[in-house]
Every structure is written in C-alpha cells, then in structure tokens.
Structure 1
C-alpha cells in the first residue's frame, strides 16, 4: 500500500474550477483509495492505494472530467516523494508563505528561467520534478511568469509541509484499497 498526495490544477482559484473538497473526497473514496483526506480548498488530497502513480492520476482525471465537463490536470506524488521535496527545499529558513513549489510532470527545463518574464528579485531553483521559487516581496507583488506554470501546479511551503505530514501519517497497513 502506497501513500499518495494528489494536487489538482486550477481548482477554486480566481473563481474558476469550483470543486468542493467534499466532492474531491467522494471521488477518492469512489476510486477505492483508502484513508482519504483533503486539505484546504485548493485541491489537495492524501490517501493510500495499491495502484501506480499513473493509475491514480488517471482515475482522478476521469472522475474530475466527468464532474466538470472538461479535462482537469492532476499531479500525483508518493508520500516518500513529498517528504523528499520538503527535505530538498533550497530556501530553508525563509517564510513558508514566500516559498512555492511548482510541481511539474514531464521534463523540467535545464534553466527554469528560460522563457520567463517579469523577474525582479525572485530566486528560482530546479528540483527533480519540481521548481522552487522564493518570492522575497510575496507572491502578490510578483510579475514573474515561468513557462513551467502551464504544465504544473504550485503550493506554498506551508501547504507542502502539511501535505507531507498528512501523507507520512497514513497507515501503511491501512484498509485494503486498490
């Protein structure tokens, strides 16, 4: 049984993609995921499953498309990978609401700033399947746009920390989910 974190793209942000977290929870349970929990209204879920990452993503994407009537991106990470993402944070000591992790599926650019615009004093670091960004003046003040934002979804470090904790707390021998 593997612990997973699902990050739904463009949910409940700026008046688009309305998805009540009770509905997301029901989707996880309907897919047979065990110990399902959601966190915040921005489309985060943790659960256990015997399915692969690709199968988990596909199951959620199918249910989301049925619910909203159009494709919705889902990024999935294992509990171990979320812990690793947190441990590799290159901006240790910075405020959690000033650091975001941009989760990306597919290859990362060699230079995450290639094609970016609006860079001021932000700092960007390439991870394994994520890009870390430090916003010294806060995200509300930035004009920075990274090309990878189109394929990924971002969470601030406070949210990443909480999701990693929730995923780590999942019982490895939990209910028999598939």
Structure 2
C-alpha cells in the first residue's frame, strides 16, 4: 500500500463545483481506498491504495463526474513524492502562505517559463520543476495578475496549494 494525496482543481471556490468533504471521503472509500481523510474544504484527499497515480487520477475524476455531475482535474502525488516536492522548495524562507506549489497534470510544456515570465512581477519569482511550479507571491496572491492567469499561462492543467497547506496534507499522511 502506498499513501497518496489527491489535489482536486477548482472545487468549492466561490460556490461553484460543490463537493462536500464527507461525500468525497465516502466516494474514495467506495473506490476501495483505505485510510481516507480530507484536509480543509478545498479538495485535498489523503488515502492509501495499491494502484498507480495515473490510474488513481482517472478513477477519481470519473467517479467525481458520476457522483457530482461535473468534471474535475485531479493530481495525485505519493507521500514520498510530496516529501521531495517540499524539500525542493526554492523559496524556503518565504512565508508559507505566500509560496505556492502548482501540481501539474503533466510536465510543464516548452515555453511555460517564458509565458509565466510575461506576467511575473519582480516580487513574484517562480521556478518550473517538471510536474510542479513554485511561485513566491511576495505581495500575496489576492492582487496578482500572475496568480489570476497562471493556469492558462502554464499551458497544462494545474491545481495550486500554498506550502502551508501542502505541509498540513503531508502531516495528515502520517
């Protein structure tokens, strides 16, 4: 058994795509996952399974569509992978609520860094690292044009969490 975290994109934001966490946990248990837990109401699911990440992503996305009636992108990372992602954070001195990790559905396509650079301000350094993109929003995400247009610029489905949330999810994994 491997412990995984699944990050769901765009649920429970502004009243759209509502997914109650109790129903999400029940759905995951119904798929045969064990040790199921959620962290806050923004689509952070922790569970154990013998299946591979790509299979889990497809399975969860399909089950969510069947259960809730809308599509959701799902990014799955193992406990070991999440530990490495946090260790690789190029902005360890940044305030954890202002440093984000974007979990990409696939490797960042060619030109992603150049597209991000067109909107990144001096106080918004970023690092593209394979299937993750780290951004330090020095003045916060609330007024950042980069944050607002990030998914379109990166060119692949992405779901973003701040480092504090990723740390909490990893702690929940045990």
On whether the aligned pair clears a TM of 0.5, the verdict is: yes
> Would you say the 8 A contact 1:6–1:76 is kept in 2?
yes
Compute the RMSD of aligned alpha carbons. 1.5
TM-score, normalised with respect to structure 1: 0.88
Q: Per residue, is there more helix in 1 or in 2?
A: 2
| 1:35-61 deviation line (CA, Å, top 9, x unaligned) | 000001000011100111122112211
Provide the rounded CA distance (Å) in 1 between the counterparts of 2:119 and 2:57.
32
Provide the rounded CA distance (Å) in 2 between the counterparts of 1:152 and 1:29.
25
Q: 1:17 to 1:149 in 2, by over 3 A?
A: farther
2:2 equivalent in structure 1: 2
Higher relative contact order (CA 8 A, sep 6+): 1
Deviation of 1:111 after TM superposition, in Å, equals: 5.0
- Structure 1 runs of 4+ with >6 Å offset: none
Provide the rounded CA distance (Å) in 1 between the counterparts of 2:24 and 2:110.
34
Structure 1: unaligned runs, 5 residues or longer: 170-178
> Would you say the 8 A contact 1:4–1:77 is kept in 2?
yes
> Would you say the 8 A contact 2:9–2:158 is kept in 1?
yes
1:32 equivalent in structure 2: 32
- What is the total number of aligned residue pairs between the two structures? 168
